[in-house]
Chains A and B, each alone.
Chain A
Amino acid sequence: MGLALVPVSRPAPGSGGLTGTWRTLRPVVNLDKCIDCGICWLYCPESVIDWEKGQKIKIDYTYCKGCGICAHECPTKAIEMIPEAGL
């Protein structure tokens, strides 16, 4: 098809590079405090938080830019922003 000549991009992680290297603050989750509400998952603008009700959250540090929205929105303050090593 003629479409082969059209530049088409396909969805894949890392279209902006390894964006985890942008991070100066790292979100660290205290799972004991986590109440499994999913609010951090809902607001994460980067989609780096994986969540399923009943399974607590997991953060992908390869791409997390460290904006800190998750820590700010967490209703139980279960996420803490900790300076990256060397900063």
Chain B
Amino acid sequence: MSVRIDLLPKKKYVMPGNSACAGCGMMIGLKILGMALGEEAVLSIPASCASVVQGLGPKSGIAMPILNVPFASAASVATGISEAFKQLGVNGKAVVWAGDGGTADIGFAAVSAAAERNSDVLYIMYDNEAYMNTGIQRSSETPKGAWTTTTPTGKREAKKDVALILLAHGVPYVATASIAYPQDLYRKIKRASEIRGFKFIHLFAPCPPGWLFDPSLTVEVARKAVETGAFILWEYDNGEFKLNPPSSSLVDKKRRKPLTEYLKLQGRFAHLTEEQIRQMEEEIDHKWEFLLKFAQAASRR
């Protein structure tokens, strides 16, 4: 069930003239977060692109209440905010908006702890697959084979699947989303905010300067990642696991587009040999198999 575009709020939650790069994928996600939660959201943002794009004080490029917090602390700060809301009887939502480095690497202990406590927090990890604002250093979310400034011949290790790790914590809601499917993201944020407890959304957000593609292709790259099966859209909601469209019709790998359609758009994969691409395809098949089996095991219904 998708939300009609003309019924989405028209208020600007991302202010024009902010400091984000042209064609920033994450800003599309922030826009949708604003539309979904509006002024009810209080954001904790650790060091990341998201803290840079706000621009220079006394102006802010994001029209939501924000606490800019130290790198590893975002999930803990949001826990504190949600507890304060509870004590004061304030109707607000504690939201973390953190990058992949601030979540999967540096902030991971705090994220895991907040999930284990089942703190009433909506944690959104926007995943641009490297440390972009400091100069494209690899993170544990960088996919295997991708160029970054610290992996000049391509990363050797595989991408960490944080969403599944969080699911294994036994939290009520975990989902993946992509900026190419904003209505799906909107619905997931709305749904997650209705649930008490720890909610996690893994948001795929391409980065034109970091992934080396033309800024006009941000949405195209995100869409191709889903259509080729490299990124899978799914949702786990209180014991029920399901794939979301269009991933739900891509279980049969013959229906997926060739992986090269996704890879060839980006300079960071330009050095890959045919053999390496074939290996990547195999790993994607394995990821699907693993996810579907995991899903079966995780579903209580």
Cβ-defined partner of A47 (8 Å) among B31, B53, B54, B55: B31
CA distance A63 to B182 in the complex (A): 23
Whether A31 sits at the interface, judged by CB under 8 Å, is: no
Residues of B within 8 A of A63 (CB): 16-17
CA distance A41 to B4 in the complex (A): 13
CA distance A53 to B10 in the complex (A): 11
Evaluate whether A11 and B219 lie within 8 angstroms (CB atoms) in the complex, with A16-B20, A63-B16 already known.
Answer: no
Residues of A within 8 A of B53 (CB): 16
Residues of A within 8 A of B12 (CB): 47
Evaluate whether A47 and B6 lie within 8 angstroms (CB atoms) in the complex, with A11-B62, A67-B22, A69-B219 already known.
Answer: no
Q: Is the CB of A13 within 8 A of B17?
A: yes
Q: Is the CB of A9 within 8 A of B60?
A: yes
Cβ-defined partner of B23 (8 Å) among A12, A45, A60: A45
Evaluate whether A16 and B17 lie within 8 angstroms (CB atoms) in the complex, with A38-B5, A43-B28, A45-B31 already known.
Answer: yes
Residues of A within 8 A of B8 (CB): 42
How distant is A30 from chain B, measured CB to nearest CB, in Å? 17
CA distance A53 to B213 in the complex (A): 32
Residues of A within 8 A of B182 (CB): 42-43
Q: Is the CB of B20 within 8 A of A15?
A: no
CA distance A44 to B19 in the complex (A): 15
Q: Is the CB of B55 within 8 A of A67?
A: no
Cβ-defined partner of A9 (8 Å) among B10, B16, B24, B59: B59
How distant is B12 from chain A, measured CB to nearest CB, in Å? 5
Number of contact residues on B: which range applies? Answer: 35 or more
Number of contact residues on A: which range applies? Answer: 35 or more
Whether B270 sits at the interface, judged by CB under 8 Å, is: no
Residues of B within 8 A of A60 (CB): 16
Q: Is the CB of A9 within 8 A of B54?
A: yes
Q: Is the CB of A12 within 8 A of B25?
A: no
Q: Is the CB of B219 within 8 A of A15?
A: no
Cβ-defined partner of B15 (8 Å) among A12, A62, A65, A66: A12
Residues of B within 8 A of A12 (CB): 15, 59-60
Residues of B within 8 A of A62 (CB): 16-17
Residues of A within 8 A of B31 (CB): 45, 47
Q: Is the CB of B59 within 8 A of A14?
A: yes
Whether B61 sits at the interface, judged by CB under 8 Å, is: yes
B13 nearest in chain A by CB position: A47
B27 nearest in chain A by CB position: A45
Q: Is the CB of B28 within 8 A of A22?
A: no
Whether B297 sits at the interface, judged by CB under 8 Å, is: no
Q: Which residues from chain A sit less than 8 Å from chain B, CB to CB?
A: 7-20, 22-23, 37-39, 41-43, 45-48, 51-53, 60, 62-69, 71-73, 81
Q: Which residues from chain B sit less than 8 Å from chain A, CB to CB?
A: 5-6, 8, 10, 12-25, 27-28, 31, 53-63, 182, 208, 214-220
14 pairs from A and B in contact (CB 8 Å cutoff): A8-B58, A10-B58, A11-B59, A11-B63, A12-B60, A15-B15, A15-B55, A16-B56, A45-B28, A46-B18, A52-B10, A62-B17, A65-B23, A69-B215
